[in-house]
Amino acid sequence: MDRKKELKQQYQEIEIIAGIYQIKNNVNGKLFVESTRNLKTINGVKFTLNNSTHINKELQSDWNEFGKDAFSIEILEMLKKDENNPDYNEKEALKAMEQKWLDQLSPYGENGYN
Protein backbone atom coordinates (compact mmCIF):
# COMPACT_ATOMS: atom_id res chain seq x y z
CA MET A 1 0.00 0.00 0.00
CA ASP A 2 2.89 2.37 0.70
CA ARG A 3 4.15 1.90 -2.85
CA LYS A 4 0.74 2.90 -4.20
CA LYS A 5 0.73 6.07 -2.08
CA GLU A 6 4.28 6.85 -3.21
CA LEU A 7 3.36 6.50 -6.89
CA LYS A 8 0.28 8.67 -6.40
CA GLN A 9 2.39 11.35 -4.71
CA GLN A 10 4.95 11.25 -7.55
CA TYR A 11 2.16 11.61 -10.12
CA GLN A 12 0.71 14.62 -8.31
CA GLU A 13 4.12 16.31 -8.22
CA ILE A 14 4.66 16.04 -11.98
CA GLU A 15 4.55 19.48 -13.53
CA ILE A 16 1.82 19.90 -16.13
CA ILE A 17 3.10 21.82 -19.13
CA ALA A 18 0.78 23.39 -21.69
CA GLY A 19 1.84 24.05 -25.25
CA ILE A 20 1.45 23.71 -28.99
CA TYR A 21 2.34 20.65 -31.04
CA GLN A 22 2.15 19.62 -34.65
CA ILE A 23 1.58 16.33 -36.41
CA LYS A 24 3.33 16.34 -39.77
CA ASN A 25 2.60 13.99 -42.63
CA ASN A 26 6.10 13.45 -44.02
CA VAL A 27 4.70 12.06 -47.29
CA ASN A 28 2.62 15.04 -48.39
CA GLY A 29 3.81 17.73 -45.97
CA LYS A 30 0.39 18.39 -44.43
CA LEU A 31 0.31 19.66 -40.85
CA PHE A 32 -2.09 19.45 -37.96
CA VAL A 33 -1.47 22.11 -35.28
CA GLU A 34 -3.16 21.96 -31.91
CA SER A 35 -2.83 23.30 -28.39
CA THR A 36 -3.12 21.30 -25.22
CA ARG A 37 -3.12 22.22 -21.55
CA ASN A 38 -1.04 19.10 -20.92
CA LEU A 39 1.59 18.07 -23.47
CA LYS A 40 1.59 14.55 -22.00
CA THR A 41 -1.76 14.04 -23.75
CA ILE A 42 0.15 13.63 -27.02
CA ASN A 43 0.39 9.94 -26.15
CA GLY A 44 -3.41 9.86 -26.05
CA VAL A 45 -3.54 11.52 -29.49
CA LYS A 46 -1.26 8.79 -30.87
CA PHE A 47 -3.52 6.20 -29.25
CA THR A 48 -6.63 7.62 -30.91
CA LEU A 49 -4.90 7.73 -34.30
CA ASN A 50 -3.65 4.15 -33.94
CA ASN A 51 -7.18 3.05 -33.05
CA SER A 52 -8.90 5.02 -35.83
CA THR A 53 -10.86 7.22 -33.42
CA HIS A 54 -9.26 10.64 -33.90
CA ILE A 55 -11.77 13.48 -34.27
CA ASN A 56 -10.06 14.90 -37.39
CA LYS A 57 -11.30 12.56 -40.13
CA GLU A 58 -8.89 13.74 -42.84
CA LEU A 59 -5.87 13.29 -40.58
CA GLN A 60 -7.20 9.90 -39.51
CA SER A 61 -7.71 8.83 -43.11
CA ASP A 62 -4.12 9.72 -44.05
CA TRP A 63 -2.78 8.07 -40.89
CA ASN A 64 -4.61 4.88 -41.88
CA GLU A 65 -3.42 5.13 -45.50
CA PHE A 66 0.26 6.01 -44.96
CA GLY A 67 0.83 4.42 -41.54
CA LYS A 68 2.20 5.86 -38.33
CA ASP A 69 5.81 5.82 -39.58
CA ALA A 70 4.88 8.43 -42.21
CA PHE A 71 4.13 10.98 -39.48
CA SER A 72 6.19 12.94 -36.98
CA ILE A 73 4.96 14.73 -33.89
CA GLU A 74 6.82 17.76 -32.63
CA ILE A 75 6.29 20.18 -29.75
CA LEU A 76 6.42 23.65 -31.25
CA GLU A 77 6.28 25.75 -28.10
CA MET A 78 5.71 25.34 -24.38
CA LEU A 79 3.64 27.90 -22.51
CA LYS A 80 5.56 29.89 -19.93
CA LYS A 81 3.19 30.68 -17.10
CA ASP A 82 3.22 34.24 -15.80
CA GLU A 83 2.37 33.66 -12.16
CA ASN A 84 3.44 37.21 -11.24
CA ASN A 85 0.63 38.71 -13.32
CA PRO A 86 -2.71 38.59 -11.46
CA ASP A 87 -4.60 39.01 -14.76
CA TYR A 88 -2.83 36.03 -16.40
CA ASN A 89 -5.20 33.53 -17.96
CA GLU A 90 -3.55 30.29 -19.08
CA LYS A 91 -6.41 29.34 -21.38
CA GLU A 92 -6.34 32.67 -23.21
CA ALA A 93 -2.53 32.67 -23.42
CA LEU A 94 -2.60 29.18 -24.91
CA LYS A 95 -5.28 30.18 -27.41
CA ALA A 96 -3.21 33.20 -28.52
CA MET A 97 -0.11 31.02 -28.85
CA GLU A 98 -2.02 28.50 -30.96
CA GLN A 99 -3.32 31.27 -33.22
CA LYS A 100 0.23 32.56 -33.70
CA TRP A 101 1.33 29.11 -34.94
CA LEU A 102 -1.76 28.69 -37.13
CA ASP A 103 -1.03 32.07 -38.73
CA GLN A 104 2.63 31.19 -39.21
CA LEU A 105 2.20 27.66 -40.59
CA SER A 106 -1.20 27.99 -42.33
CA PRO A 107 -2.15 24.31 -41.97
CA TYR A 108 -5.32 24.66 -44.05
CA GLY A 109 -6.59 23.14 -47.27
CA GLU A 110 -3.79 21.52 -49.24
CA ASN A 111 -1.27 22.48 -46.54
CA GLY A 112 -2.90 20.80 -43.58
CA TYR A 113 -5.63 19.26 -41.56
CA ASN A 114 -6.87 22.28 -39.56
What is residue 19's predicted lDDT score, i.e. its pLDDT? 97
pLDDT the model gives residue 66: 98
24-41 pLDDT, tens digit each: 999 999 999 999 999 999
What domains does the chain contain, in order, with CATH numbers? 15-111 (3.40.1440.10)
CB contact set of 32 (below 8 Å; sequence gap of 6+): 22, 23, 24, 56, 59, 107, 112, 113, 114
Structure confidence at residue 5 (pLDDT): 80
Average pLDDT, the chain: 92
Structure confidence at residue 30 (pLDDT): 98
- Low-confidence residues of the chain: pLDDT under 50: none
